[in-house]
Amino acid sequence: MKFFTLALAALLPAAVLAQEPTFYTGNPVARAAEPALEKRSITANVKVDGLRYRTCPRTECTAMGQYPINTQIQIDCYTATGTTTVEGNPGWGRLTSGYWVALAYVGWNGEPSSSASAPN
């Protein structure tokens, strides 16, 4: 009995390694469409009073809060795919917090702010 156990223990790993690997050939798992993101970390300034930050890059997404004018925000990437166009600009930036802002209301490198308020 000991010989049989030792022989089985010695031959089993060789038998397992000799088998062909198996591959999944079924349908791939459906994933939600993700926007095409361009990674770019940059500090920006809010150009309008009341810029809303949202859960996704569309105006129909929930606004979680808002920024006052001249607030500096950190954007880690942006997209113009699958977004709502705001003031003629389809670009939205994702903040380091994971929320989104419309780039139409964001300024770069000291760009002057306006006195206008961001629309709903």
**38-107 topology per CATH:** SH3 type barrels. (2.30.30)
The whole-number pLDDT of residue 47 equals: 95
What are the angstrom distances between the C-alpha of 27 and each of 24, 31, 79, 99? Answer: 9, 12, 29, 32
Q: Compare 30 and 101 and report the one with higher pLDDT.
A: 101
For the segment 5-42, what is each residue's pLDDT rounded down to a tens digit? Answer: 555 556 555 554 455 544 444 444 443 444 566 676 78
The whole-number pLDDT of residue 109 equals: 65
Given a cut of 50, whether residue 71 has pLDDT beyond it is yes
Residue among 115, 102, 120, 28 nearest 70 (CA) = 115
Structural domain boundaries of the chain? 38-107
Please state, in angstroms and rounded to a whole number, the distance separating the CA atoms of residues 28 and 64: 34
